[in-house]
Amino acid sequence: MSLLRVEKLDLRYGDSQVLWAIDLAVEEGRISALVGANGAGKTTLMRAIAGLVRPSAGRISFGGEDLARVPAETRVRRGIALVPEGRRLFAGLSVRENLMLGAHVRTDRSAVADDLSKIFALFPELEKLSGQIAGTMSGGQQQMCAVGRALMARPRLLLIDEMSLGLAPVVVDRIAMALKSVNAEDGITMLLVEQDVELALEIASHATVMDTGRVVLDGPSTALIDDPKIREAYMGLAA
Amino acid sequence: MSGKRQLILATVLLIAALAAPAFVGNYWLRVLTTVFMFGVVAQGLNVIVGFAGYHAFGNSVFFGIGAYATGIGMTLGLPVWVAIPVAVAAAALIAAVLGWPFLRLRGHYFAIATVALNAAATEVIINIGGVTGGAQGLPLPFSSLPPTLLYRIIYFAMLATLVLATAIVFWLSRSRLGYALRALRDSESGAEVMGVDTVKAKILAWTISAAMTGSAGGLWAYWLTFIEVGTAFDISISVRGYIMMLLGGMGTVIGPVIGAALFQLVGDAIWSHFSGIHNLLLGALVMAVVLLVPQGVLDSLSRLRPPARRPRRAAEA
């Protein structure tokens, strides 16, 4: 069954329409990817799912329930966590405080403590830097902290926006591996937005391709990797 | 400055403040009472500005509301120890109700709206007349206590209020609400995607802030025994509180208290030695503070320590 379902979604910023009749389904337990060029509307769609922008038409449902009237902070309680584009750590707070903010909606203290040690096991540098002010860390460390922060909510669905942006390939690989292991062990469903199509198709089992506000292709990653149109348009490889 | 050092400093200051009335004359008793009063105002600002990042320049409105509600309550026959808590509740309630529309405004717009609120409140008090005394001001019932005892009681009441306000800020600095406020100060939508109910958190912060400011106003009214709108809703009350908060260090636990003491004591010293140009000198001092210690003296003090314990720049990952 689909954990997240987006149907016929339109979204406008003022007079200009940026999303057109988007259909998207994210299956429970899987990693799905949303790929496409700059300006395709991927981040906007993520923001709509997180509840930060309001669609002008269409429907988003999560676990079978309509999210239309559910504000962003309540969606977190329902189990949707976002790793925002550009990481957006709370720069003035320490690493530990940032991580604990991820668990803001939770009241199960001992489980929160367990999850914190899990995150520290996943990214040991965060434990070493836990007292440090988040804004002073390197980009890679900040991205790890942002991923950890979202995982601290113990989400059912993890939205990850442009995880690879501006990071060294080794760091991207480490975070990608961490995401895969979390998905395999805890069964957390993930939807990642990526400009790096090759990376996205490698991590995700299923991908949706967007172009200028519309869904243009959708299918299993293995099929898309071999699709000559994809190879040419997004991976810079000759068919 | 670390939490432990702040706690030690706070304890030393508290002991000194408790002992002071035994050693000082009436003039210094009054100066110190004023320090405590502005300390409370600065802590009230600290909650909404330092933690939540909402610049409530017009927070003096709650000082005035606290003063007037106390005055009206006492005129209607309430004893002072009932009138002041009622006044504090009134200030908090007004902040909670007005917070809902006001805290939707961000940045400068919120700051200007609070200043407008302060101006509007003075007009309301004047035009209601009757129990408020209107433009003529409001005399409070005299206390039958001998003045030396009364002023000592007010000194300790003001000190207790400051201790309570500081304790609340201390609690806030380590509570869920405190984290939520500091997060939304950085990014409101960022806090929302962490599951923070930002509207509720902001309103709570302003309500706490108003209660603190209102309690200072209530005690001030009882102390002065005569209030009028020009002084009770004087915007310079919040401006002073602001300077004190910045001077000590906003977002810290005892910074605003240190700032209040420094600014008030230095201000009084300048006033008594250079009476013609004291505002000029005070203004120059404020500019120097903003330029030289923008993070507040508490931060500068902790920078005087050996650098070993300060966080180093992270190595690249």
What's the length of chain A? 239
Is A82 in CB contact (< 8 Å) with chain B?
Answer: yes
Interface probe for A, chosen from B173, B194, B250, B309 (most Cβ of A below 10 Å), is: B194
Say which residue, B154 or B133, is predicted with more confidence: B154
| CA-closest candidate to residue A201, choices A183, A222, A170 | A222
Interface probe for B, chosen from A90, A108, A147, A173 (most Cβ of B below 10 Å), is: A90
pLDDT for A75 equals: 92
pLDDT for A235 equals: 63
Q: Which residue in the block uniquely carries the two structure tokens 């908060």?
A: B245
Q: Does residue B312 register a pLDDT over 50?
A: no
pLDDT for B311 equals: 47
Angle of CA points A124, A128, A130, to nearest 5°: 105
Q: Calculate mean pLDDT across residues B37-62.
A: 96
Measured in angstroms, the CA of A209 and the nearest CA of chain B are apart by 25
Q: Calculate mean pLDDT across residues A65-78.
A: 91
Q: Report residue A53 as tokens.
A: 């922008």
Measured in angstroms, the CA of B4 and the nearest CA of chain A are apart by 16
Residue contacts between A and B (CB atoms, under 8 Å) = 86
Following DSSP, what letter does each residue of B184-253 receive, concatenated? HHH-HHHHHTTT--HHHHHHHHHHHHHHHHHHHHHHHHHHHSEE-HHHHT-HHHHHHHHHHHHHH-TTSS
pLDDT for A217 equals: 86
Q: Calculate mean pLDDT across residues B296-315.
A: 58
Helix then strand then coil, in percent of chain A rounded to 5, is 40, 30, 30
Residues on chain A touching B49 (C-beta within 8 angstroms):
none
What interface predicted TM-score (ipTM) does this complex get? 0.72
Q: Report residue A76 as tokens.
A: 């977190």
pLDDT tens, residue by residue, B200-230:
999 999 999 999 999 999 999 999 999 999 9
> Strand A189-194 vs strand A31-35: parallel, antiparallel, or unpaired?
parallel
Is A93 in CB contact (< 8 Å) with chain B?
Answer: yes
pLDDT for B308 equals: 44
pLDDT for A236 equals: 62
3-state secondary structure of A211: strand
pLDDT for B266 equals: 87
Measured in angstroms, the CA of A82 and the nearest CA of chain B are apart by 7
Q: Is B186 within 8 Å of A93 when comparing Cβ atoms?
A: yes
Q: How confident is the model at residue B71 (pLDDT cuts 50, 70, 90)?
A: very high
Is A86 in CB contact (< 8 Å) with chain B?
Answer: no
Q: Is B194 within 8 Å of A168 when comparing Cβ atoms?
A: no
Q: How confident is the model at residue B309 (pLDDT cuts 50, 70, 90)?
A: very low
Q: B190 near A104, Cβ under 8 Å?
A: no
DSSP H or E stretch at residue A156: none
Q: What percent of chain A has pLDDT over 90?
A: 50
Q: Calculate mean pLDDT across residues B21-48.
A: 94
Q: What is the CA radius of gyration of chain A?
A: 17
Q: How confident is the model at residue B245 (pLDDT cuts 50, 70, 90)?
A: very high
Say which residue, B68 or A107, is predicted with more confidence: B68
Measured in angstroms, the CA of A222 and the nearest CA of chain B are apart by 32
Q: Is A104 within 8 Å of B195 when comparing Cβ atoms?
A: yes
Measured in angstroms, the CA of A45 and the nearest CA of chain B are apart by 15
Q: Calculate mean pLDDT across residues B15-41.
A: 93
Return mean pLDDT, chain A.
Answer: 89
Q: Calculate mean pLDDT across residues B246-275.
A: 88
Question: Using CA of residue A222, residue A223, residue A227, residue A233, what is the dihedral sign?
Answer: negative
Q: Is A90 within 8 Å of B313 when comparing Cβ atoms?
A: no
Q: How confident is the model at residue B134 (pLDDT cuts 50, 70, 90)?
A: confident
Return mean pLDDT, chain B.
Answer: 89
Residues on chain A touching B189 (C-beta within 8 angstroms):
52, 72
Residues on chain A touching B315 (C-beta within 8 angstroms):
138
Dihedral of CA atoms B251, B252, B258, B260 in degrees, nearest 10, equals 20
Q: Calculate mean pLDDT across residues A155-162.
A: 92
Is A54 in CB contact (< 8 Å) with chain B?
Answer: no
| CA-closest candidate to residue B209, choices B76, B110, B75, B314 | B110
Interface probe for B, chosen from A44, A47, A76, A104 (most Cβ of B below 10 Å), is: A104
pLDDT for B307 equals: 45
Q: Does residue A11 register a pLDDT over 80?
A: yes
Q: What is the CA radius of gyration of chain B?
A: 20
Q: Where are the domains of chain A?
A: 2-79+155-233, 95-153
Tell me how crowded residue B205 is: count the other CB atoms within 10 A of its CB. 29
pLDDT tens, residue by residue, A24-70:
999 999 999 998 887 888 999 999 999 999 999 999 999 989 998 89
Q: Calculate mean pLDDT across residues B26-53.
A: 95
List residues bridging with B227 in a β-sheet: B138
Distance of alpha carbon B210 from alpha carbon B65, whole angstroms: 9
Q: How confident is the model at residue B315 (pLDDT cuts 50, 70, 90)?
A: very low
Q: How confident is the model at residue B304 (pLDDT cuts 50, 70, 90)?
A: low
Angle of CA points B140, B141, B147, to nearest 5°: 100
DSSP H or E stretch at residue A38: none
Measured in angstroms, the CA of A141 and the nearest CA of chain B are apart by 6
Q: Is A72 within 8 Å of B189 when comparing Cβ atoms?
A: yes
What CATH topology corresponds to A2-79+155-233? Rossmann fold (3.40.50)
